[in-house]
Structures are given as C-alpha cells and as structure tokens.
Amino acid sequence: MGLIPWSLAVDVLRLLSIVSFLFCSLTFTWYSFVSLIGVLVSLYVLDRNKYQTKPNQQSNTSSVKNPYKGTRRVKDESNIPPDVREKYTDRILDLVLYEVEETRALREFEPIKMNTHCIFARKSILWGSRDYHKSLSVEENVIRSLPMFVKFLTVGATLHLDGFVFALPGDLFGQEVNRFGQAVRRVLKCISDHDPRGFHCMNKSYVSKIGWSFEFDGIPVFVTTFAPCYPSNHARYAFGASEAFILLQPMYSFAIHDIGPDTPHTNWDSPVSVRDKIRVAFKENGRAYHVRDTIFYPAAHDIVKPLKEGVGDLVEWWVDPDSVDGEEEEEGDEGEEGEGEEGEEGEEGESGEEGSSGDETVSNESKKKQ
C-alpha cells in the first residue's frame, strides 16, 4: 500500500513554496508573503501522513499466528510456569489483603486506646477489620476480614501484635447491651465456624461454664468488648466512639508483656504488680470493675459486661434466641466439658476491663485439654 497520487503534488508544492520564500524573503513583497503562507500550509495542513493509506485490517487478521495452537496441556499445577503462578497469586492476594493498620475500625477505636487506664494500651499494636458494609450481614462482614485475622494470629507472636479489632456500627448494635451481646455472639460464632483446626469453640455446650475460652486455630484468645451503651463510669466505656468494638487478644500477647498469672488479691494502697497498677488506675478514675475472690470462673461472663456490675448481673450473650432450647449444640467431644470442673486459672482475668494489649491475664499453661 502506498501514497495516493497527488501526495507527490504536496511535496512539490512544499518545495516550491520554500524556494520561492527564500528567493523573495530579502524584501517584503506580496510574493514573499504568499510564499510564507504556502510554506505554512504545506507544513501544517498538507501533511503527507494524512494521505497514508491504512492497511487492510481484515486481510492482516488472517496472517496473525494463533499463540495457543499446538501447545500442550499442563496436567499438574506444579508445572505451571513461575510467572503465571506469581500472577494469579498476586491477583488472589489483592482480593483478601488490605492495610490492616489503616482501617476505619482502628481510627474509631483510637479514643478507647488513648484514654483507657491500661498502662500498655497507648503503645499497643493493633490490626483492624475491614470497613463494615451495612448492605451485608454481620457474618458476611466478618468473613471479609477473616484472611487477615488468620494472618494476625499466625504472625502476631513474631511481630509482637497485641490485638485485632472488629468494629460494628454503633447505631445498629451499640445502643442496647443485649442487642450488642447478640452481635458479639454472631461475630464470634462466625469466626469459630471457620476455625482451621475444626475445634469450633462456639459450638460447645459449656460456653457459659468454667473451662471454656475462645480459641481459633489452636490459639487461646481473650475477648473484650466496648460499646456506646456503657456509661462513663463503666470500665467498658467507649470514650465517645460511635462504633461498637470486639477486641481479640491472643494470650501470647500477655506473656510478651509479662503480665503474670491472675490473682484475686490486689494491693490497693501500694500497687506493685502490673495487675495491681491496672486495677488501681481504673478505680482512681471512677471506672472500677468487679474483682472476684477467685480465679476460677466462666470466661464468657466477662466478654459482654452488664451496664451495672454486681453479683447476679449477667448478659447471656452466648444464648441464641432463635435456637430451640436456648443453648448451643455441642460439637462432639463430650469429655471436654469435664475440664470445666478444673477450670482455667483466670483466663478471662481482668483484661476485659483494660481492653488493650496490657489487659490482665494468665499464662497459657493453665489451658489444658482433656
């Protein structure tokens, strides 16, 4: 394919215009002016590229080689080329990963982190859940954050991470304590249902008894909650935060901070231990919490606190109101309920009142499976 015939005339006109302009440019005359115009026209209007005939695309199509013709099928994924493997891995990770330290959940949780009376709270390293979508159910929102929660528990001991924050809309779940408790149950149940080890702690019949604790992938996890429904003199006060929160703290984080074992005894006048200092700090700031006279009690009782603490006050958040008999089904392992007889030495501890990485607890040695 070449140029159309009169493209040659364009080149001739351009050449004549330039020669004529140079010949007449020594003095200004109408001839020099016309020559200048001719040069400009030849340069900017009569562009020969405009008259380049486009190739016949249809005819070229038949000459394109099929890159897949004659290729052999790879029968084993282990033989997939590294560049292909890297490409699909990156695509998958883009779907499940997000900036865990730059989430709305953590921004909303900041007032609690900075104002709670736990001595470790301000320096705690937290990860947050994905932004909550009200068009999705509670469970669907939890599932969106599960991949990073799995990563959090896996790398947390190495990175010295302290907690993972799940945030729920305060206007939907944080205005009334029993409704908040049911939202907490749904979040923990959804996490438990996806336990990689299949233990499914929320399906046990002894959730409300001594010996039960929340765990995921074999890692014991301490659960603390905060919501706008709690008054300003309450240990679970949200300090003006509009959202409701579930803080999941792996037990190894307490060991990293060397909190020490739980104890019912407190040196109120001259606090010495970390536990003493935390309890005294809450009391001095008007948010004292109930310290039991024993280290053996149900961990579930402290996950969602009643608005007013006292003997007999309890939010039964673990009870599914839609269940037939009001109790969760046990997922086998009948013998596991027996560990409730021995109990766990303060696994629930006092850390529910601190609500951050410095919450009180005991070492993992107290958690034994039958």
Question: For the segment 60-72, what is each residue's pLDDT rounded down to a tens digit?
Answer: 556 788 988 888 8
Planar angle of CA 256, 260, 266, nearest 5 degrees: 140
For residue 48, the model assigns a pLDDT of: 54
- From 103, 94, 98, select the one nearest 131 (Cα to Cα): 103
Indicate whether 29 pLDDT > 80: no
Model confidence at 58, pLDDT cuts 50, 70, 90, reads: low
- From 237, 235, 236, 274, select the one nearest 254 (Cα to Cα): 274
- From 366, 239, 343, select the one nearest 292 (Cα to Cα): 343
For CA atoms 183, 189, 190, 191, the dihedral sign is positive
For CA atoms 232, 235, 240, 245, the dihedral sign is negative
Picking from 202-216, 249-263, 289-303, 331-345, which range would have the lowest pLDDT averaged per residue? 331-345
- From 144, 164, 165, select the one nearest 155 (Cα to Cα): 164
Picking from 10-24, 128-142, 229-243, 273-287, which range would have the lowest pLDDT averaged per residue? 10-24
- Sorted by sequence, the CB contacts under 8 Å of residue 144 that are 6+ apart come out as 129, 130, 133, 136
Model confidence at 40, pLDDT cuts 50, 70, 90, reads: low
- Give the mean model confidence (pLDDT) for residues 154-168: 97
Model confidence at 44, pLDDT cuts 50, 70, 90, reads: low
Q: Between 45 and 187, name the one with better pLDDT.
A: 187
What is the pTM for the complete model shown?
0.72
Round to whole Å and give the CA distance between 220 and 348.
11
For residue 71, the model assigns a pLDDT of: 84
Q: pLDDT of 208-229, one tens digit each? A: 999 999 999 999 999 999 999 9
Indicate whether 352 pLDDT > 80: no
Indicate whether 135 pLDDT > 90: yes
Round to whole Å and give the CA distance between 298 and 275.
19
Round to whole Å and give the CA distance between 166 and 148.
12
Indicate whether 59 pLDDT > 90: no
Indicate whether 276 pLDDT > 60: yes
